[in-house]
Chains A and B, each alone.
Chain A
Amino acid sequence: MSITHIGSNTQDKTGGLDLTFAFGGISYQAGDMGIVFVKQCENTTQRIWDDDGGGGNGWIQRTYNRTTGGRDMETAIYTKILTASETDPTFTWASGVTTEPMSGMLEVYRGTQGFDEFSIQDLQYANAQNDANPPNPSVNIDFSTSTIVVFHGATHDDISAVAAPTGFQLRSQVWSGTSNDHRNVFSADLINVGTTGSYTPPDWQHTVLNSTPEYHTYTIILQEALAIGVNDFNTTEKFNWGDTGLIVTGFGFESIQNTGKVEIWSDVTGTIKQIQTIDTWSDTSISIDTVQGSLPNNQNVFLVVTNDNGDISKEFTISVGQLPYSDEVLLLNPDHYWTFNNNYLDTAGVLTRNASAVNGSPTFTTNPLTRGSTHAFTISAQGQRIEIADSSNMNTGTIQTRTMGGWVRVSEIQDSFICFYEEGGGVNNLAFFMGMGGVLIAQQADTGDDNVHAYSDFKLAPNRDYHILFRYDYTGTDLFELLVDGVLQSTTFGNPLTSSDLDAHSGDVGWGDAEGSLEVFGTDITFPAGVTAYYNDWATWTVFINENTAREKLFELGAREQNLIISDTEINMQADFSIYDNTTFGNHAMTFKVEPCTGGDFTLIANGHVMDDFTSVHLQYMGADTLTIVNSNGSNYDINKISTPNGGTVVIENTVITTITGIPSGVEWHLYEKSVVPGLIGTVELAGTEIKSDNDPILYSDRYSTDTDVILQIIESGVEERNIEFTLINEPQTILVNLVTETNI
């Protein structure tokens, strides 16, 4: 069934604090899709459109945006799969304050997928100043039968005639010539777009008096109802080859498998396809055992279900093994992301380095900081710097929530106070500094509002990779914070935040030399670049990244291991591990990465592996099963510094040393686990020798699990055999043996 437009309702207030849309004139039915676009304009104080379900009526806020360049504007999009009887929803912008101009529209469509996560395939937003017949943002279309809906909100009444984008049908408008200042909104659609892939709707075709207005535009793809679809795989969308019993959920699978099948494809075109083994099958859930066949590992692959009717689901993206770090970062939906892996591309946006704003000759060198990188952006002189263009998600927007950071390394202690990164300028800015022997400082300067520093709890060591991240949230924590290697640092100065947002700070955005002074708590300070400084994988979000994500995704998945134990048999992996016996390791982001054992659960004994106190991850285990690490002979693997990105378990066991003194050289001795059979010393010999070679104490090392009764057997020529009983316990102990020569036996 193709998508059809059912009806509209518009609302317009010269002064209001909320908008209520009426279903009275719309012939809707259960399963139809409602879309609401609301706009407020003129006011200079942010109020934020509520996300309360349209007054508790189950509406989902899809997006909210505010701009302050030129005239203020706040807009939001809400959607709902309608029931048979809907209550008119109310969308509230503020209460108890002066009313402001506002307007909006409700559009109802039929024939979209009947549940929310499938109804909208994509939604994109754009804004700018001084454009009254603006462009619409681009979207990526999966199905040619999709419908495209566009909305336009304008700040001024400079549109003299209304016209939809070319090929689109105008559905609704709040417009009254040039006497409807602040309230102009428009909607239009294109049923059955007829194409797939990247698509940019034409510009709005209004006739305009001038280019004064600011705009917000939205492009939405409505998904036509599908016969079959997948909406979840193994909860996390991640797995390892050979995993069994993984659940595929969705719709339209049909209750009986018959000719139905589940395939995993190497790419969206299915260059390599591998049928998976079916455990159970129902209309909405399938259990599979994974089969690799010729498919690759450690990347995204695509799951496709075909039902007995021959309907084929859209390719569902899943990931097997460990994805490239850059893919993992992109899964967190940054606004902008620069890998700095031998290029300056913004792989999440369009802010590639501004080639005309480069100081000195920073370059790329083969000194990467992150897993999978081959190069790092490298600054080798204090005056060097690169910049990107302004971004409404960074320096030119008024932003309430922000997270930004990436990987850095310096080659030596810096003798000056240096800058890793800054955006803004002499008044308002965000920046990372370092000084005083390696203390890292994250700064937010919002003069007149909030000036905050967050400090690292330790001095960053030279030649050590670090992941650094600042974040602030005016809608939640009201704190500006610093995380290093995903760990929240404890000391800040200037918190809590007292304003409602960080003002736009339209100075440059750059890495390296700060290019002029930056205001630091009211004092203008010049900051050169760090030398030599290396950068990889910097990204920025207008959301709050929590500590688990920062630690497990941004840090642990990107850290390069100092030593790798590759997958093999347990014996061979132990041999590889033992190469590092009696080693004191340096300060690393991550000291060991251990791949899975071919035999499943396994144990590695660490003999004298001494980790540095400042190392962030002692060991990362890549398996999904259990690795037991035995701390022996001074090894200090810490369970709090273990990483298990693929769901595996690491158990740390500590050995207990029992010291036995008083047994001279030449004596035969054996330590047995005490037999439960009367008269029998023991069946399991734990340690011993025919002829003791010296007079030194015997050191017996044991992995403690429970108290164990043992028998020490001592056999001396011409002397009666001795059998001494004691118990191995969970703490070091010394057994003093006094051998008395008995001559009257």
Chain B
Amino acid sequence: MAYGDNTLNADHQWTFNNVLTDNIGSLTLTNTGGVFVATPITRDSTHSFQTNGRDDLATVTPTTDSGSVELSQYAFSGWFMVSQIQGPPTLIYKQGGTNGFAIFLWAGNNVMLQVKCNGVIRQIFSDIALTSNRPYHFVVRFSGSAFDNEVSFYIDAVKQTLNKDGVTPNGATMNAHTGTHCFGENGTSSVDVQVGTESVLVKAPLNGYWSQWWTWSGINAALSESDINEDIFGAGAIPQITITSDTQAAMQSQLDTYTGGSSNDEPLVFLIEGVTGDGDLGLSLDYTFDPRSSQHIRYEGSGTLTWTNLNGANASTFSGNVVIENPANLSINNLVVGSEVRVYDNNGVDSNDLGAELAGTETLIGTSFVYSHSGLSNDVVVQIIRDGYFEILQPLTLTSNDQSFSLIQEQDNNT
């Protein structure tokens, strides 16, 4: 299924893939100055819509499911990219006028969502400044007081937190806002937009790019964070690297070529296709993900991908069925040379059956024993046996961090 085929029952879909038509409804956009360019910013697209002038825009008048009447639940989303920091204040998207939504871009490519409704102004600010020439995905969700009673703003599926005067919409519905939907400039170059209480002449982002903008109303607008992460954002992100479907060994071989590497600042770094036979898959990699990259891994198989971070690798964000393991070491120190050391899973029935042995040695060389494990939390028992010393049975809980213990062996003077 191509990105855009599953819109989670959106009312309107502008793919901007070389067309201005509404792929679901009938709200075809009118273009003023914008162009289509072969610079796709979403998967499965070939083109995006570009404003290459400050007065460019695409616009359409809303209908009942997109703002012309009151709505208790409403949402919209889409992809945007910009090629440089914008000097003057600019507008990424706007609906309505006195009441409505607007997404501004300014101040070093910081982003601000402004919602005017029910006599209040709500502003939510991006936690980050947008990197130039890097696609970003926005989701705006309005949920009236009968539902979640919240206006929320997501960038790359991460909810933005800094706001002005809270995020409650101050009412059950979003006011009707019949002003046009604008991608780019505000519709007329001489007309200001209210930023807070002040009129500001905002322009189109110079070399802004749009792709796959969708709107929802009613119950369909109650998008979950999983919907946003998996189907709306993750499914549309163009990956930096794709590991193609093959056997597990062959896919690990593909991945090994990136050992010791580091990612770019990307919406998605690794797209992992399903393993041959479509079962579970285990992969491991020593790799550093850019802290500004949004989704580190997306697995598109039906089974579970177990991803192991090697040597302190920092994969942590994902979509699809993914389990991330961070191996850690259990170190037992200050032991008597020659001791027998055993680590059991502590799943046995009594002291004669301590459970499955996870690691051990008959005769310790040196004074330390190290057990490397997956990093998953687990209760274990450490057994130490040495002639002339009391036997030790020490229960411990493994964690995702390296742990170091000194076990004091006491001499048995009556042996």
Q: Residues on A close to B: CB < 8 A? A: 382, 412-417, 433, 435-439, 441, 451, 453, 455, 459, 491, 493-494, 520-528, 722, 724, 726, 731-738, 740, 742, 744-745
**Whole-angstrom distance between the Cβ of B366 and the nearest chain A Cβ:** 16
**Whole-angstrom distance between the Cβ of A553 and the nearest chain B Cβ:** 27
A415-B164, A435-B89, A742-B412 known, 20 other contacts, Cβ within 8 Å = A382-B197, A415-B196, A416-B196, A417-B89, A417-B200, A433-B107, A435-B106, A436-B112, A436-B125, A437-B126, A453-B85, A459-B162, A493-B85, A520-B87, A523-B87, A525-B89, A731-B404, A732-B404, A733-B405, A740-B412
A residues near B87, Cβ cutoff 8 Å: 451, 453, 493-494, 520-523
**Whole-angstrom distance between the Cβ of B86 and the nearest chain A Cβ:** 8
A residues near B112, Cβ cutoff 8 Å: 435-437
Beta-carbon contact of B390 and A455 below 8 Å? no
B residues near A416, Cβ cutoff 8 Å: 195-198, 200
A residues near B295, Cβ cutoff 8 Å: none
B residues near A527, Cβ cutoff 8 Å: 198
Give Cα A506 to B321, complex, Å.
Answer: 64
Beta-carbon contact of A738 and B106 below 8 Å? no
Q: Which of B66-100 contact A (CB under 8 A)?
A: 84-89
**Whole-angstrom distance between the Cβ of B166 and the nearest chain A Cβ:** 11
Q: Which of A436, A453, A494, A526 contacts B198 (CB 8 A)?
A: A526
Q: Which of A415, A436, A439, A736 contacts B407 (CB 8 A)?
A: A736
Give Cα A435 to B198, complex, Å.
Answer: 12
A residues near B123, Cβ cutoff 8 Å: 413, 415, 437
Beta-carbon contact of B408 and A726 below 8 Å? yes
A residues near B392, Cβ cutoff 8 Å: 738
Q: Which of B107, B404, B413 contacts A455 (CB 8 A)?
A: B107
Does B129 interact with chain A (Cβ within 8 Å)? yes
Interface string of B184-226 (1 = CB under 8 A from A): 0000000000011111110100000000000000000000000
Beta-carbon contact of A726 and B406 below 8 Å? yes
Residue of A731, A734, A744 with highest tally of chain B CB at under 10 A: A734
Q: Residues on B close to A: CB < 8 A? A: 54, 84-89, 104, 106-108, 110-112, 121, 123, 125-126, 129, 162, 164-165, 195-201, 203, 333-334, 390, 392, 394, 403-410, 412-414
Select from chain B the residue with minimum beta-carbon distance to A451: B87
Beta-carbon contact of A520 and B88 below 8 Å? yes
Beta-carbon contact of A437 and B196 below 8 Å? no
Give Cα A722 to B112, complex, Å.
Answer: 66
Beta-carbon contact of B410 and A722 below 8 Å? yes
Give Cα A436 to B403, complex, Å.
Answer: 44
Beta-carbon contact of B88 and A736 below 8 Å? no
Beta-carbon contact of A734 and B406 below 8 Å? yes
A residues near B334, Cβ cutoff 8 Å: 726
Given the interface pairs A437-B112, A439-B107, A736-B406, the reply to whether A524 lies near B414 with Cβ below 8 Å is: no
A residues near B409, Cβ cutoff 8 Å: 738
A residues near B106, Cβ cutoff 8 Å: 417, 435-436
Give Cα A740 to B414, complex, Å.
Answer: 13
Beta-carbon contact of B107 and A435 below 8 Å? yes
Give Cα A526 to B126, complex, Å.
Answer: 23
Beta-carbon contact of A738 and B410 below 8 Å? yes
A-B contacts, 12 of them at CB < 8 A, read: A415-B197, A435-B107, A435-B112, A436-B111, A437-B164, A520-B89, A523-B89, A525-B200, A733-B405, A734-B406, A735-B406, A738-B409
Q: Which of B88, B404, B408 contacts A724 (CB 8 A)?
A: B408
Beta-carbon contact of A742 and B414 below 8 Å? yes
Give Cα A740 to B112, complex, Å.
Answer: 65
Give Cα A441 to B407, complex, Å.
Answer: 58
Given the interface pairs A416-B198, A436-B125, A526-B198, the reply to whether A737 lies near B88 with Cβ below 8 Å is: no
Give Cα A347 to B15, complex, Å.
Answer: 62
**Whole-angstrom distance between the Cβ of B358 and the nearest chain A Cβ:** 18
Beta-carbon contact of A523 and B196 below 8 Å? no
**Whole-angstrom distance between the Cβ of B28 and the nearest chain A Cβ:** 30
Give Cα A676 to B87, complex, Å.
Answer: 71
B residues near A382, Cβ cutoff 8 Å: 197-198
Beta-carbon contact of B404 and A414 below 8 Å? no
Select from chain B the residue with minimum beta-carbon distance to A413: B164
Give Cα A724 to B406, complex, Å.
Answer: 11
Give Cα A417 to B106, complex, Å.
Answer: 10
Select from chain B the residue with minimum beta-carbon distance to A527: B198
Select from chain A the residue with minimum beta-carbon distance to B414: A744
B residues near A734, Cβ cutoff 8 Å: 403-406
A residues near B129, Cβ cutoff 8 Å: 455, 491
**Whole-angstrom distance between the Cβ of B204 and the nearest chain A Cβ:** 11
Beta-carbon contact of A437 and B390 below 8 Å? no
Give Cα A34 to B39, complex, Å.
Answer: 69
B residues near A735, Cβ cutoff 8 Å: 405-406, 408
Select from chain B the residue with minimum beta-carbon distance to A445: B87
- Closest A-B pairs by Cβ, 6 of them: A521-B87, A415-B196, A437-B125, A455-B108, A523-B88, A416-B196
Select from chain B the residue with minimum beta-carbon distance to A519: B88
Give Cα A438 to B108, complex, Å.
Answer: 12
Beta-carbon contact of B195 and A523 below 8 Å? no
Given the interface pairs A415-B123, A415-B196, A520-B89, the reply to whether A439 lies near B408 with Cβ below 8 Å is: no
Select from chain B the residue with minimum beta-carbon distance to A658: B406
Beta-carbon contact of B125 and A738 below 8 Å? no
**Whole-angstrom distance between the Cβ of A465 and the nearest chain B Cβ:** 20
Beta-carbon contact of B408 and A528 below 8 Å? no
Select from chain A the residue with minimum beta-carbon distance to B196: A415
Give Cα A297 to B195, complex, Å.
Answer: 51
Give Cα A527 to B406, complex, Å.
Answer: 65
Q: Which of A437, A491, A732, A740 contacts B162 (CB 8 A)?
A: A437
Given the interface pairs A455-B108, A459-B125, the reply to whether A737 lies near B196 with Cβ below 8 Å is: no
Beta-carbon contact of B107 and A436 below 8 Å? yes
A residues near B405, Cβ cutoff 8 Å: 733-736
Beta-carbon contact of B162 and A415 below 8 Å? no
Select from chain A the residue with minimum beta-carbon distance to B203: A523
Residue of A414, A436, A525 with highest tally of chain B CB at under 10 A: A436
Give Cα A416 to B410, complex, Å.
Answer: 71
Beta-carbon contact of A740 and B390 below 8 Å? yes
B residues near A417, Cβ cutoff 8 Å: 89, 106, 195, 198, 200
A residues near B85, Cβ cutoff 8 Å: 453, 491, 493
Give Cα A142 to B74, complex, Å.
Answer: 77
Beta-carbon contact of B408 and A526 below 8 Å? no
**Whole-angstrom distance between the Cβ of B91 and the nearest chain A Cβ:** 12
Beta-carbon contact of B201 and A524 below 8 Å? yes
Beta-carbon contact of B197 and A736 below 8 Å? no
Residue of B54, B86, B164 with highest tally of chain A CB at under 10 A: B164
Beta-carbon contact of B107 and A523 below 8 Å? no
Give Cα A438 to B106, complex, Å.
Answer: 12
Beta-carbon contact of A736 and B394 below 8 Å? yes
Give Cα A726 to B87, complex, Å.
Answer: 63
B residues near A436, Cβ cutoff 8 Å: 104, 106-107, 110-112, 125-126
Give Cα A451 to B197, complex, Å.
Answer: 27
Give Cα A646 to B211, complex, Å.
Answer: 59
**Whole-angstrom distance between the Cβ of B97 and the nearest chain A Cβ:** 17
Select from chain B the residue with minimum beta-carbon distance to A437: B125
Give Cα A436 to B89, complex, Å.
Answer: 10
**Whole-angstrom distance between the Cβ of A514 and the nearest chain B Cβ:** 11
Give Cα A733 to B333, complex, Å.
Answer: 10
B residues near A438, Cβ cutoff 8 Å: 125
A residues near B195, Cβ cutoff 8 Å: 415-417, 435
B residues near A745, Cβ cutoff 8 Å: 413
Beta-carbon contact of B198 and A738 below 8 Å? no
Give Cα A415 to B392, complex, Å.
Answer: 65
Select from chain A the residue with minimum beta-carbon distance to B390: A740
A residues near B104, Cβ cutoff 8 Å: 436
